[in-house]
């Protein structure tokens, strides 16, 4: 008698009649229903309808985006595995590989903030260790509604607690990310989670199966009824009744995930695994279909053998459950017994639930009945793909800077440092363990009161090596809204700059493409424009996209989010001792501005926070200048000429200077004949502020390369002093920067 024999009594299963009307409630259109019937040559069973509906959902099939994703650059000599697997893989030398991906858990996190965010972290970590990599770092990119919205504080608290609660228990450091606020996210927050892992190149595992008669093995947690229709829910707009979707949100258990990581990595040291796949969106359905499709094989599953934590589950429920911490494997038969011992040692379920066949069909048996017989190739190859109508957005006109002067430069600086987007996120990152594993060099948001350094990118050293991986997440949605093409370029360029600013060579990108309803031509126009800009920037910077996720239908009652194509960048520093943080390192060092300043105020935080206007054009991105300026900066960090470096982004030059001062507790005396708002707060691209003891060397090198460079002043003292504009104590700037978020979360602002 098997462990699950007590559940073998067939329950009274009453399934609804399968009709086009029923299929419509699952997001399947009439023509898609007809296509399904043609593939099967008959009406589907209820279980088959469920499988088609999730596999053809936006979340799983990318039916609105596949056409355009194929135009992105994905190859480079250092790319081992691009899009199409659980995660991307790049060569980082010494026979090692970095494995990484970013995914969204937007809808679940709005419905159930703690579990939605927690299971988002768990899911992306499984994508990485499924490939044979040990996760070494997590990042996240969070977008919430305006602080005055009644739900924002609760959502922030729940999401942050979920990320920290799951990641901290697993023992993987959360080393970076970003958190922003805007009214467009009032009804649809964004929770994008990224994991970076480390693997040996000869121990990379893929989802493709091979051979006939191989055992299909289920490992991990038991299957319950949580998360059913999660993929379908994530493929639709929110409505006022979306709170009723709470049962579609998965429930995570980080302690089980930790055991699963260790058991899988232990088994991966042997030669037992032919194929392995995480049970993510669509659960057992997607993992079984992936293995069958990529291996050109068939799969027969005996669902009686699936470990279940609830009584009388139906085949439909088992196949569509998105219970967490589960994996599907194809093993070499001779290793089955040894594999079982490993998982039992780690107190995890291990069950042989099926076998591979040569007929390329997915067949499901339970209670002595066949509930599903679907040919896999057409299920995958004939999934819908739409070339949806699109309308390019109307680009706003440029603004006249003279209409928006700064009447109090240092006063405006203080207002910017205290605004929700720029305010310190210490309240958030102190809830994350950024130092576990002991390899973190640069971690999030570190101020002068901390012993650790902050950098524009997180930096995690590789055990036993001099090298370190740099990583960041970046996007500026207001730019993408004003001009999707330039906004897409800027998101990639800022990611590239942030890696460069710590002295790392940018290698590759993962992304999370968050947009509204693609059936609206204006939203599709945003999507296409952003992708075109991203693609151009990735090609110009030799920065290919190796993995990613698309999250559409981020709307509530017809109101969509700002287009938010989050870029997760990964780079390599060959010697972590030759890197640069963003804080000033000593008094008496020269401060230089590298890159041309024209004073672009359109779509700037200055315009929004000081004048309450979201107007003007997005800043143009000169990709040649990005590459030229960045290559100079990186070279001079590596040779020790640059001692500190910070890219100029939100808030412009003065905010960047203030952040460098606050990170070190060291002031600066700044000399400038230009006290215009455009110079101090404009958000021109391709710029860095650097410190050095050898300014003439940098100036000469810049002039030879045709790069604009400007002396700004010198570090020292305890104030930030501007010629002709007064001074502000660094401690006061820190207090302004640090106070907003704790006050907000305590309900005092």
Active-site annotation, residues: 59, 105
DSSP letter, residue 200 = E
Judge whether 192 and 473 are in contact, CB under 8 Å: yes
- Judged by DSSP in three states, 389 sits in coil
Beta-carbon count within 10 A of 626 CB: 25
Helix axes 521-540, 484-501, angle to 10 degrees: 40
Strand pairing report for 590-594 and 709-715: antiparallel
Judge whether 507 and 500 are in contact, CB under 8 Å: no
Judge whether 493 and 623 are in contact, CB under 8 Å: yes
Residue 206 backbone zone (phi > 0: left; psi -120 to 50: alpha; other: beta): beta
Residue reference for tokens 């910070």: 646
DSSP letter, residue 19 = -
- The token duo for 627 is 């590459």
Judge whether 532 and 485 are in contact, CB under 8 Å: yes
Alpha helices in 296-429 (DSSP H): 315-320, 336-345, 376-381, 409-417, 426-429
The b/e string for 246-285 (b: 16+ C-beta within 10 A; e otherwise) is: eebbbbbbbebbbbbbbbbeebbeeebbbbbbbbbbbbbb
Task: List strand residue ranges (DSSP E) for 118-272, in order.
Answer: 134-144, 174-181, 190-200, 215-220
Distances (CA, A) of 600 to 242, 401, 653, 656, 672: 41, 8, 11, 15, 18
């Amino acid at each position: 008698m098997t462990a699950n024999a007590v559940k073998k009594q067939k329950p009274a299963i009453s399934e609804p009649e399968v009709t086009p009307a029923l299929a419509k409630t699952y997001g399947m259109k009439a023509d898609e229903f007809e296509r399904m019937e043609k593939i099967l040559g008959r009406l589907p069973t209820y279980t088959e309808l469920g499988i088609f509906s999730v596999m053809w959902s936006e979340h799983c099939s990318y039916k609105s985006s596949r056409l355009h994703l194929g135009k992105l650059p994905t190859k480079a000599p250092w790319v081992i595995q691009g899009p199409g697997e659980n995660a991307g893989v790049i060569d980082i030398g010494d026979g090692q590989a970095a494995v990484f991906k970013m995914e969204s858990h937007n809808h679940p996190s709005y419905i159930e903030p703690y579990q939605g965010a927690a299971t988002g972290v768990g899911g992306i970590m499984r994508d990485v260790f499924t490939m044979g990599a040990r996760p070494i770092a997590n990042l996240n990119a969070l977008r919430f509604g305006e602080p005055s919205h009644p739900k924002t504080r609760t959502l922030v608290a729940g999401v942050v607690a979920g990320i920290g609660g799951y990641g901290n228990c697993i023992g993987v450091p959360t080393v970076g990310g970003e958190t922003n606020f805007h009214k467009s996210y009032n009804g649809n927050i964004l929770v994008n989670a990224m994991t970076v892992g480390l693997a040996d190149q000869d121990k990379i595992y893929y989802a493709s199966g091979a051979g006939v008669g191989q055992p299909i093995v289920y490992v991990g947690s038991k299957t319950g009824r949580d998360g059913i229709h999660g993929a379908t829910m994530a493929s639709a707009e929110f409505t006022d009744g979306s709170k009723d979707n709470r049962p579609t949100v998965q429930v995570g258990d980080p302690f089980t995930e930790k055991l699963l990581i260790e058991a899988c990595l232990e088994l991966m040291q042997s030669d037992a695994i032919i194929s392995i796949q995480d049970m993510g969106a669509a659960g057992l359905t997607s993992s079984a279909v992936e293995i069958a499709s990529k291996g050109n094989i068939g799969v027969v599953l005996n669902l009686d053998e699936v470990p279940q934590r609830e009584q009388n589950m139906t085949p439909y429920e088992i196949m569509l459950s998105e219970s967490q911490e589960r994996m599907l494997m194809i093993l070499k038969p001779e290793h089955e017994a040894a594999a079982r011992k490993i998982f039992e040692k780690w107190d995890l379920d291990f069950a042989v639930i099926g076998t591979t066949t040569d007929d390329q069909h997915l067949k499901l048996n339970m209670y002595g009945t066949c509930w599903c017989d679907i040919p896999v190739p057409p299920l995958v190859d004939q999934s819908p793909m739409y070339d949806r109508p699109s309308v390019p957005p109307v680009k706003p006109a440029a603004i006249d800077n003279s209409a928006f002067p700064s009447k109090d430069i240092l006063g405006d600086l203080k207002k910017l440092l205290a605004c929700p987007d720029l305010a310190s996120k210490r309240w958030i990152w102190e809830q994350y363990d950024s130092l576990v594993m002991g390899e973190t060099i640069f971690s999030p948001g570190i101020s002068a009161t901390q012993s650790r350094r902050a950098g524009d990118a997180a930096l995690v050293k590789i055990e036993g090596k001099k090298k370190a991986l740099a990583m960041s997440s970046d996007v500026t949605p207001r730019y993408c809204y004003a001009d999707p093409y330039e906004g897409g370029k800027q998101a990639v360029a800022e990611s590239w700059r942030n890696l460069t600013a710590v002295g790392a060579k940018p290698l590759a990108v993962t992304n999370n493409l968050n947009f509204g309803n693609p059936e609206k031509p204006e939203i599709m126009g945003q999507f296409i424009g952003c992708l075109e800009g991203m693609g151009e920037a990735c090609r110009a910077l030799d920065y290919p996209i190796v993995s990613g996720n698309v999250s559409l239908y981020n709307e509530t009652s017809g109101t969509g989010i700002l287009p938010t194509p989050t870029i997760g960048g990964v780079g390599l520093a060959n010697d972590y001792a030759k890197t640069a943080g963003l804080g000033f390192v000593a008094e008496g060092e020269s401060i230089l501005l590298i890159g041309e300043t024209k004073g672009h105020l359109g779509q700037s935080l200055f315009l929004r926070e000081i004048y309450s206007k979201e107007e003007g054009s997005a800043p143009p991105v000169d990709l040649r200048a990005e590459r030229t300026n960045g290559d100079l900066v990186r070279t001079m960090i590596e040779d020790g000429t640059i001692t500190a470096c910070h890219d100029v982004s939100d808030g412009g030059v003065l905010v960047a200077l203030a952040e460098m001062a606050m990170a070190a507790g060291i002031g600066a005396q700044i000399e400038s004949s230009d006290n215009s708002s455009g110079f101090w707060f404009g958000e021109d691209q391709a710029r860095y502020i650097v410190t050095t003891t050898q300014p003439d060397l940098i100036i000469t090198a810049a002039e030879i390369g045709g790069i604009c460079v400007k002396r700004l002043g010198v570090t020292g003292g305890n104030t930030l002093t501007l010629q002709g504009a007064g001074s502000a104590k660094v401690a006061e700037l820190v207090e302004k920067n640090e106070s907003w978020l704790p006050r907000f979360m305590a309900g005092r602002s």
